[in-house]
């Protein structure tokens, strides 16, 4: 089982020193977008491989909650890049073939109501996602590579042209062609063929600090551009090589940071955006529970601080087309305990991360909703800033609820952006309260 620490924790208050004053005008549609071009807004959700264990969040829950019908893309988190510079299964830290395609799923847990048999080649989450796509023909599934705890080997893997070609070829072989390692009756050539519709790069972060121990090099920035180009080249070539009736465009995306310093250290924005279909902007973890002072983690607007609006403008200024920018939204909150100083609790000293269900300082929305309804906490809103927080005098949680998400979705729609992305699907209520709010905000006219 992979730890919840793989949520996208990226930077703390110290990074705020890199942030200058930003213009306050709302972003406009980009000049690269053809006149009258109004692509359907994307709705992208990350499904965590390890969520099937402690959280007992299964692929079937996306169908029974009505969530799958509201999404355009499901990103499967995560595929692993191993120390040998290849996409690997079974012989790299974080890899879990049992969850991916070996685990038998019974009829009660299966999307189609039919249990896996001992002799079928594809089982587990992969088979359930295939069944989910069959019930939702417009739904696409992307493999997300890396993650906060899985980005250690990117820098080494992409240092040379040969290394980039090897990495990309191995990822396409494993996930796009579906050639899985044999595990008993499971796997083999083409076992997962047709499941994944593209690749999401989740390197955290090229050229700047990520998880402790990650290799970082100045040349990560141009090498990332070359990696993106290699993925685009090989994905296009494979899509064209298929029989005529099966030819398709495989999508390419990435999860990218909010901090201007991190953008400039690792991303040649104008170049990479030519090859990406879209990118998912970090829209959360602006401040985290490991910091000594409480703060917002996902505000839409904030003065002299990280915010969704600041992130959007930072990418637009560097040459990203507006319609390729998808705004990340959290289905969890950041929390502190030992908060002193009174008032509404925000901007006050704290003694540490607040107790939580799975990992201290990080709590799923479905549990925060119960706190909000308990009468013990008071709900505060920054209506203009687009964020909310709960405070009981000692513990503070900053998070997005349906009201905040509708506001953010409207911001996406009104500013010609590409859509909304959520981390992660297992944080929502059983009836999909949060995705419903986003969906309504994106579709309202």
CB 215 within 8 A of CB 208: no
Q: Among candidates 377, 428, 426, which has minimal Cα distance to 402?
A: 428
Pairing of strands 186-188, 180-183: antiparallel
Helix (H, G, I), strand (E, B) or coil at 435: helix
Is 204 a known active-site residue? yes
Alpha helices in 321-400 (DSSP H): 365-374
CB 182 within 8 A of CB 188: yes
DSSP state letters, 138-149 = T-EEEEEEE-TT
Crossing angle of helices 220-241 and 161-171, rounded to 10°: 50
- Give the C-alpha distances (Å, rounded to integers) separating 353 from 95, 159, 194, 361: 28, 38, 42, 4
Helix (H, G, I), strand (E, B) or coil at 103: coil
Enclosing H/E stretch for 163: helix 161-171
- Annotated catalytic residue, options 204, 219, 251, 268: 204
**Total residues belonging to the chain:** 445
Which segments within 33-178 are labelled E, that is strand?
Answer: 42-48, 73-81, 87-88, 140-146
Query: Which residues is 336 bridged to in the sheet?
Result: 353, 396
Which segments within 228-269 are labelled E, that is strand?
Answer: 251-256
- Cβ neighbours of residue 383 under 8 Å, at least 6 residues apart? none
Query: Which residues is 332 bridged to in the sheet?
Result: 364
Q: Looking at the annotation, which residues are catalytic?
A: 204
């Amino acid at each position: 089982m992979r730890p919840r620490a793989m949520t996208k924790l990226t930077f703390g208050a110290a990074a705020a020193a890199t942030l200058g004053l930003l213009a306050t005008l709302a972003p406009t549609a980009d000049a690269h977008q053809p006149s009258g071009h109004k692509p359907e807004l994307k709705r992208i959700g990350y499904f965590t491989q390890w969520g099937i264990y402690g959280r007992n969040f299964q692929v079937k829950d996306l169908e029974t909650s009505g969530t799958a019908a509201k999404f355009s893309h499901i990103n499967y988190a995560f595929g692993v890049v191993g120390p040998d510079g290849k996409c690997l299964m079974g012989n790299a830290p974080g890899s879990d073939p049992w969850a991916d395609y070996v685990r038998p799923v019974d009829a009660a847990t299966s999307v189609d109501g039919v249990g896996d048999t001992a002799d079928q080649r594809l089982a587990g989450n992969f088979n359930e996602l295939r069944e989910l796509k069959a019930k939702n023909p417009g739904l696409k599934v992307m493999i997300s590579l890396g993650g906060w705890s899985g980005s250690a080997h990117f820098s080494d893997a992409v240092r040379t042209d040969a290394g980039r070609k090897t990495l990309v070829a191995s990822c396409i072989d494993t996930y796009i062609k579906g050639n899985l390692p044999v595990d008993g009756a499971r796997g083999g050539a083409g076992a997962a063929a047709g499941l994944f519709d593209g690749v999401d790069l989740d390197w955290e972060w090229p050229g700047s600090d990520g998880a402790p121990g990650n290799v970082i090099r100045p040349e990560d920035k141009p090498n990332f551009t070359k990696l993106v180009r290699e993925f685009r080249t090989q994905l296009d070539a494979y899509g064209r090589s298929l029989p005529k009736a099966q030819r398709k465009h495989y999508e390419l995306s990435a999860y990218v940071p909010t901090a201007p310093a991190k953008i400039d250290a690792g991303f040649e924005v104008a170049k990479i955006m030519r090859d990406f279909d879209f990118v998912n902007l970090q829209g959360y973890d602006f401040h985290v529970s490991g910091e000594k002072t409480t703060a917002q983690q996902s505000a839409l607007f904030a003065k002299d601080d990280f915010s969704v609006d600041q992130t959007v403008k930072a990418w637009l200024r560097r040459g990203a087309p507006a319609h390729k920018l998808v705004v990340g939204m959290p289905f969890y909150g950041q929390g502190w305990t030992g908060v002193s100083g009174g008032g509404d609790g925000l901007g006050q000293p704290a003694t540490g991360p607040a107790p939580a269900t799975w990992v201290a300082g990080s709590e799923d929305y479905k549990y925060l909703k119960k706190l909000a309804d308990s009468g013990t906490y008071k709900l505060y809103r920054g209506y203009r800033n687009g964020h909310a927080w709960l405070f009981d005098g000692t513990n503070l949680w900053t998070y997005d609820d349906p009201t905040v998400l509708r506001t953010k979705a409207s911001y996406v729609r009104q500013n010609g952006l590409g859509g909304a992305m959520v981390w992660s699907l297992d944080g929502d209520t059983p009836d999909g309260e949060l995705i419903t709010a986003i969906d309504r905000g994106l579709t309202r006219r």
